[in-house]
């Protein structure tokens, strides 16, 4: 490592507290200082490159330093960088909203903006609760799936169910109920879990404002996947019991599951759809919550009736972020991304077969551009995820396993050769564990 990078890392550790990290780990595990990036490659200060196998926490859809997105942001920089979004508007956000409403499942026709996924989840929860309250009903509970993840702010954490993140805060979270999640991708599991859901809604439906789900893939919950039928059945049941359905597509939206939005595969329209992560291609923070005319109308009245949704974030609707999002949608259109990704998805599927033969592999799963390999036989103390991370990093691949689950969420521009490199490295890493 260069002298400069070493100095910089020391200064980093002196001043910075990193996200989702036990900082003491960095006594032994070096921070990686990245100097530049292009396409799927991250470059450090020592002339090493790493293939970004996780799209830098799932946000980078079209590679790093993408010329097209970059040029659009540069133009906007000298035109309008930001403006207060209460009482004011601008062209990039109007264009973006028109486009999103056109692309989204039918009925989603109003856009409310924020700047990160957790805030978007908070917005959907608050809007749902207030919708019922504005209608004269108090429904104090939210329903979510076991093993779900919806973000880290207190409301979003409360509807999540990843104990590692949530348990510390059990005394101070909001009222939630968890229902059984489908445990695999079979139709039978989808039906079984939907039966459980109906039992719960029959009993407690009128106490529940909304049911929030990550359609098809529970990403932070170890990339657990389930059949679209569950989403279809959940939609029917929510409608039957007057409970809103919130589709948290923060991670799965924008083509991750093979379709533009995961809900499409279930042919349903949720009452709220939350989008973030990939929306700007990894350039700038942005989030949008799409909802229906019905929800919008329940807040629409004379000011002194006090039914407005009085929620805001300082950076709401930032024009630079909106321009990046429009550029991302341009790429989807101009390069026929959803269709072209099908070839990449099929290629990955073929390569994944090999993993099933490894004795320490419990399950291999894939939904579109998300794939995961679950290992068996390791205790949390062994931290195999960390071992795999280090093994792959030393060979030029960035993987960041979730516990015993190694996953791939590459940028869509990844080539077959680069997929080979990522998956072959993962294969070697996993088989090297057998030999240990």
With contacts defined by CB under 6 A, name the span among 99-107, 248-256, 387-395, 402-410 that binds ligand PLP: 248-256
76 vs 116 by CB, closer to ligand PLP: 116
Residue selected from 72, 150, 365, 421 as contacting ligand PLP according to rule CB under 6 A: 150
Residue selected from 118, 158, 181, 326 as contacting ligand PLP according to rule CB under 6 A: 118
Look at residues 251, 235, 175 and name the one whose alpha carbon lies nearest to residue 201: 235
* CA dihedral sign, ordered 320, 321, 323, 324: positive
CB of 40 to ligand PLP, least distance (A): 21
With contacts defined by CB under 6 A, name the span among 10-18, 113-121, 305-313, 328-336 that binds ligand PLP: 113-121
361 vs 399 by CB, closer to ligand PLP: 399
Instruction: Please answer whether residues 320 and 82 qualify as being in contact, where contact means their C-beta atoms are separated by less than 8 angstroms.
Output: yes
With contacts defined by CB under 6 A, name the span among 26-34, 82-90, 148-156, 304-312 that binds ligand PLP: 148-156
Residue selected from 41, 62, 129, 149 as contacting ligand PLP according to rule CB under 6 A: 149
With contacts defined by CB under 6 A, name the span among 67-75, 243-251, 302-310, 410-418 that binds ligand PLP: 243-251
* CA dihedral sign, ordered 402, 408, 413, 417: positive
Alpha carbon of 345 to those of 205, 380, 392: distances in Å?
39, 31, 22
Binding flags for ligand PLP, 161-200, as an x/- string (CB under 6 A): ----------------------------------------
Binding status of residue 117 toward ligand PLP by CB under 6 A = yes
Residue selected from 248, 264, 374, 418 as contacting ligand PLP according to rule CB under 6 A: 248
Residue selected from 145, 208, 220, 268 as contacting ligand PLP according to rule CB under 6 A: 220
Rounded to 10°, the helix 91-103/319-334 angle is 40
With contacts defined by CB under 6 A, name the span among 146-154, 226-234, 350-358, 403-411 that binds ligand PLP: 146-154
269-288 binders of ligand PLP (CB under 6 A):
276-277
Residue selected from 251, 262, 266, 388 as contacting ligand PLP according to rule CB under 6 A: 251
218 vs 292 by CB, closer to ligand PLP: 218
Instruction: Please answer whether residues 118 and 287 qualify as being in contact, where contact means their C-beta atoms are separated by less than 8 angstroms.
Output: no
Binding status of residue 235 toward ligand PLP by CB under 6 A = no
Look at residues 117, 115, 142 and name the one whose alpha carbon lies nearest to residue 128: 142
142 vs 355 by CB, closer to ligand PLP: 142
205 vs 385 by CB, closer to ligand PLP: 385
318 vs 425 by CB, closer to ligand PLP: 318
Q: Find the residue with minimal CB distance to ligand PLP.
A: 117
Look at residues 179, 181, 152 and name the one whose alpha carbon lies nearest to residue 164: 152
CB of 86 to ligand PLP, least distance (A): 22
With contacts defined by CB under 6 A, name the span among 1-9, 27-35, 144-152, 382-390 that binds ligand PLP: 144-152
CB of 282 to ligand PLP, least distance (A): 12
Burial class, 208, CB count within 10 angstroms (exposed 0-12 / middle 13-18 / buried 19+): buried
Which residues are within 8 A (CB) of 66 and not within 5 positions of it... i.e. 6 or more apart? 281, 331
100 vs 220 by CB, closer to ligand PLP: 220
Q: CA 69, 75, 76, 81: dihedral to nearest 10 degrees?
A: 110
Dihedrals φ, ψ of 372, to 5°?
-145, 145
CB of 57 to ligand PLP, least distance (A): 7
Question: Where does this chain bind ligand PLP (CB under 6 A)?
Answer: 116-118, 121, 149-151, 214, 219-220, 248, 250-251, 276-277
């Amino acid at each position: 490592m260069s002298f400069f990078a070493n100095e910089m890392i020391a200064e980093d550790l002196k001043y910075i507290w990193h996200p989702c990290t036990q900082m003491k780990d960095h006594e032994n595990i070096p921070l990686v200082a990245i100097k530049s990036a292009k396409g799927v490659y991250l470059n450090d200060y020592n002339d090493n490159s790493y293939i970004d196998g996780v799209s830098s926490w799932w946000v980078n859809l079209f590679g790093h330093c993408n010329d097209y997105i970059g040029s659009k942001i540069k133009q906007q920089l000298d035109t309008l960088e930001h403006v207060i979004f209460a009482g004011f508007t601008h062209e990039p956000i109007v264009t973006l909203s028109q486009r999103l409403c056109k692309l989204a499942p039918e009925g989603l026709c109003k856009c409310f903006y924020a700047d990160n996924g957790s805030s978007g989840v908070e917005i959907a929860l608050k809007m749902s609760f207030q919708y019922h309250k504005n209608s004269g009903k108090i429904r104090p509970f939210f329903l979510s799936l076991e093993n779900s993840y919806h973000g880290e702010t207190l409301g979003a954490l409360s509807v999540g169910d990843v104990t590692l993140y949530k348990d510390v805060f059990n005394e101070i979270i909001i009222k939630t109920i968890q229902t059984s999640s489908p445990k695999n991708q079979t139709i039978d599991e989808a039906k079984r879990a939907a039966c459980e859901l109906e039992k719960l809604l029959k009993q407690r439906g009128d106490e529940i404002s909304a049911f929030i789900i990550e359609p098809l893939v529970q990403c932070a919950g170890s990339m657990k996947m389930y059949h679209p039928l569950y989403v279809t059945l959940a939609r029917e049941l929510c409608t039957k019991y007057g409970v809103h359905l919130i589709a948290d597509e923060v991670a799965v939206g924008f083509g991750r599951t093979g379709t533009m939005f995961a809900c499409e595969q279930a042919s349903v329209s949720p009452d709220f759809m939350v989008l973030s992560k990939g929306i700007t291609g990894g350039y700038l923070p942005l989030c949008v919550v799409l909802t229906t005319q019905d929800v919008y109308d329940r807040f629409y009245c004379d000011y002194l009736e006090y039914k407005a949704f009085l929620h805001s974030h300082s950076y709401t609707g930032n024009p630079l972020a909106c321009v990046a999002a429009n550029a991302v949608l341009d790429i989807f259109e101009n390069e026929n991304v959803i269709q072209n990704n099908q070839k990449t998805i099929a290629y990955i599927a073929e390569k994944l077969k090999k993993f099933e033969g490894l004795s320490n592999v419990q399950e291999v799963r894939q939904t579109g551009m998300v794939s995961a390999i679950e290992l068996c036989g390791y205790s949390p103390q062994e931290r195999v995820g960390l071992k795999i991370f280090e093994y792959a990093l030393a060979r030029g691949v960035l993987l960041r396993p979730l516990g015993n689950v190694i996953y791939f969420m590459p940028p869509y521009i990844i080539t077959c050769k680069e997929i080979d490199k990522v998956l072959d490295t993962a294969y070697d890493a996993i088989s090297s564990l057998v030999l240990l």
